[in-house]
Structure formats: C-alpha cells, structure tokens
Amino acid sequence: MRLLGKLGLAAAACLLGISVAAADTTVKWLHIEVNPAQVKIWEEVARAYEASHPGVKVEMQFLENEAYKAKLPTILQSRDRPNIIYSWAGGVLKTQIEAGVLDDITDQVKGYSDSLTPAALAAFTRNGRVYGLPTALSQVGFLCNKELMAKAKVDPAGIKTWDDLLAAVKTLKAAGVTPIVVGGADKWPLHFYWTHLAVRIGGKAAFDAALRGENGGFAGETFQKSGELFKQLVDLQPFQNGFLGFKNPQAVGYFGDGKAAMTLAISTVYHLQRALAADKVGLSEDKICWFDFPVVAGGKGAPTDTLGGITGWLITKDSPKEAVDFLKYFVSKDVQTRLAASNFIIPVVQGADAGLNNAFMKLIAANLAKSNYHQNFYDQSLGPSVGRVVNDVTAEIAGGSMSPQDAAKAIQAAWKQGN
C-alpha cells in the first residue's frame, strides 16, 4: 500500500508538471516537404513567429509522402494529432470534412482570406465554410530539352495540337532521340496524360457531369476518348526503355541528365531536375523549354484550362487558436514573397507573385492567372480509392494490357464502389 501511495504521489506530481507546461501552447505542424532548402525557410518562419509570440511553440513533424497518406486517418483520430496538416484538397479533404476531423476556421480567417487567390481558397472551402488555407499552385505541362529538340529539328513552340505532339514524337524517334521520359512505376506521372486529355476534350463540364454520374460517368465518351488518344501516343513507343520500372525521381533525373527530349511534369520539376540529375547540376535554365499541354481538335476545353495542384494546410479538430494564427502568419504576403523569390512556389497571396524573379515561374503564374478551369490532380480530387484506380488503368493503357474502353469502365466501377 505504501508503494502504491508513493506511485500515486508520483503520478500526481507528473500530472501537475504537465499542467504547468501546458500553460505554453504548442502548435504541432506536420509536413511532407523533402527539399531541405524550403524546410529551412519554414523553420526560420516558425522561429520568428515564436519570437514574436511568447508562450507559443511551433513544433515541426515530418512524414514521407506515401506514409503520410496511409497514416493520416489514424493520425487524425488520435488524441495526440498534429494541429496543422498538409493537404492536396479535393476528395480527400471532402472525406475529412464529412468525418468531422477538421476545424471550421471561417470566422478566424474572415477579412484575411480576401488576400488569397479566390480559386485557391475555394479549393479549401465547402458550403461556404473554410477548413484550411492554400499555399501554392502548380501547373502540369511539357518540359523540353532545347538541344535535343533542335537536334531533331522540332520546334517546341510549334506543338499546339495533339497531332503536333504525335508528329514531334515521330520526328524525334527518327532522329534517334528518346522523345519522352516518364516515371511509370509510380503510375501518377502517366495519369497526367489521360487526365489532361480529358481536360482538353471535355472541359470542366464533362468532369462535373461525370461526378454527377451523367453521360455514363467516367465510362462516358470523353474519358474513353482520352484513353484512345493516349493510346495513339503509346503506340508510337515514345517513352524511354523500361519506363514502367522507372520511379518518378529516377525519371526526373533522366530528364536532368539530358537523355530525353520531353517530360510531362509538374512545373516544380523545372527546378527539381537539377537536384535529381546524376551530376547534381542538371539542365541549366537556358537549355530548358516549356510548352502547355497540346489542345485536341474538337475539344470542348479551353486552351487556357490547366491541370495541376492546389496545396495547402488544414487545421485539425480542437486545435488551439494559435494554430490558425500561425497559419495566417505562414500564408502571409511576406513569407509567400520570400518562398516565391526562391522559386519554391507559385504563391496564392495576392501581390506575393511580385517576388517571382524567374521567367519560367512568372510564365506559370501568368498561365494560372489566365486559367478559368484549374483541374486538381485526379488522384487527389477523386479521393484515394478512385484516384488510385485512375493511376492504375492509365499505367495499364501505357503498358498495353488494357483497352481505353475497359480503362474508363474500371474507373466508373471504382467510383460506384466507393460512393
């Protein structure tokens, strides 16, 4: 009994200790960023915030991308959950809102939220309520290697339509140049082709109709045609040898090594290829060209429509108000300008794009500003269960093991199973 009494005292002492420590607030911030240069800026921002807000501690936590996606539902339902988490918006966000694991921060960001690009904020808003703040935008398009394009006498500026692209691939092949590199093992780099074709063929109307299950849903004409056009490209064998075994970082490095003429990639690859090239130098800016995803003859989508990411941060249920406060501080003009100046992001705070000092980043920012329909990545906007099927079937079309019709049907079947 005496022992128990001592234990009880000790426990009480511990509890007291905890409650004293809890007078300070800790904001736990979970991220997935792997670029040390960017994390360094974030760290500095967090330390600066702590300095100006005594009693608040910002604790950064890290998880690898895939691990993060897999663990998130468990993390969100644990008592020790982080307060600020990374998000690609879309269907995953929708599920989280419906599950009630996020804080509604509408009132706390009132007024402040006017400083954000409306389309970016809309991605984190549902039924007029705000659940998070966007931080960055990106666009998917073709990066090309000027030297290799010139070697085959292909003018990237002349690639405007899908048929132009097919012709360019043929010319490049004839000149002995590998036309396109892609990280097929990760599948999602292949899903860009199929989804961007769908954006071009059907536009926003087709995607919205498919979500409502109209016109045959994702088994409908638009999506079958996306597969067919993608197959036209695949049949030319445009990719590097063994592309289904390449993971995305390998493929980006391959492009940085100057071994392929083009790659369909997220705009951030423009800078990332240097870090992933074998010599860590990669292609210098004067050697890289860019063209938007070609249009499709008779397509209903506007040429200015874009495919890309909208990323941001969410506040989890029952977080301290300091979490939102810090997030507002993080997504402020100052910090965004700083991140833009280092070419890490296309900012979402109005006016922060003044920080962009690089012609390429400015071009992407201009493209996104012109875009009336920015389609979020399918594998995010459709949620994990359907999105992964999109990735699977596009990889199967690329590997020749599935017909475009069956691919579209498989996505529709997954959509039905999941909803």
- The verdict on 242 binding another protein (CB under 8 A) reads yes
- The verdict on 101 binding another protein (CB under 8 A) reads yes
Task: Kindly report the number of other CB atoms within 10 A of residue 214's CB atom.
Answer: 12
Only one of the segments 95-103, 104-112, 297-305, 363-371 lies at the binding site for another protein (rule: CB under 8 A); that segment is 95-103
Among 96, 145, 222, 248, binds another protein (CB under 8 A): 96
For another protein, the closer CB: 113 or 394: 394
* Best CA proximity match to 262, nearest among 320, 182, 340, 171: 182
Among 100, 118, 158, 351, binds another protein (CB under 8 A): 100
Smallest gap from residue 382 Cβ to another protein (A)? 11
For another protein, the closer CB: 106 or 401: 401
Q: Which residues contact 174 (CB under 8 A, 6 or more apart)?
A: 152
Interface characters, 104-133, with another protein (x: CB under 8 A): ------------------------------
Only one of the segments 243-251, 288-296, 305-313, 340-348 lies at the binding site for another protein (rule: CB under 8 A); that segment is 243-251
- The verdict on 86 binding another protein (CB under 8 A) reads no
Interface characters, 43-82, with another protein (x: CB under 8 A): -----------------------x--xx--xx-xx-----
Q: Which of residues 355-384 bind another protein (CB under 8 A)?
A: 383-384
Among 162, 188, 243, 270, binds another protein (CB under 8 A): 243
Task: Kindly report the number of other CB atoms within 10 A of residue 185's CB atom.
Answer: 17
- The verdict on 405 binding another protein (CB under 8 A) reads no
Q: Which residues contact 161 (CB under 8 A, 6 or more apart)?
A: 294, 295, 296, 297
Among 118, 158, 245, 351, binds another protein (CB under 8 A): 245
- The verdict on 395 binding another protein (CB under 8 A) reads yes
Joined tokens for residue 321: 């108000």
Binding-residue total with another protein (CB under 8 A): 34
Only one of the segments 34-42, 154-162, 269-277, 389-397 lies at the binding site for another protein (rule: CB under 8 A); that segment is 389-397
Smallest gap from residue 387 Cβ to another protein (A)? 8
Going from the C-alpha of 309 to that of each of 136, 189, 340, 345, the distances in angstroms are 8, 13, 16, 11
- The verdict on 417 binding another protein (CB under 8 A) reads yes
Smallest gap from residue 398 Cβ to another protein (A)? 9
For another protein, the closer CB: 336 or 380: 380
Q: Which residues bind another protein (CB under 8 A)?
A: 66, 69-70, 73-74, 76-77, 95-96, 98-101, 184-185, 187, 241-246, 383-385, 388, 392, 395-396, 399, 401-402, 417-418
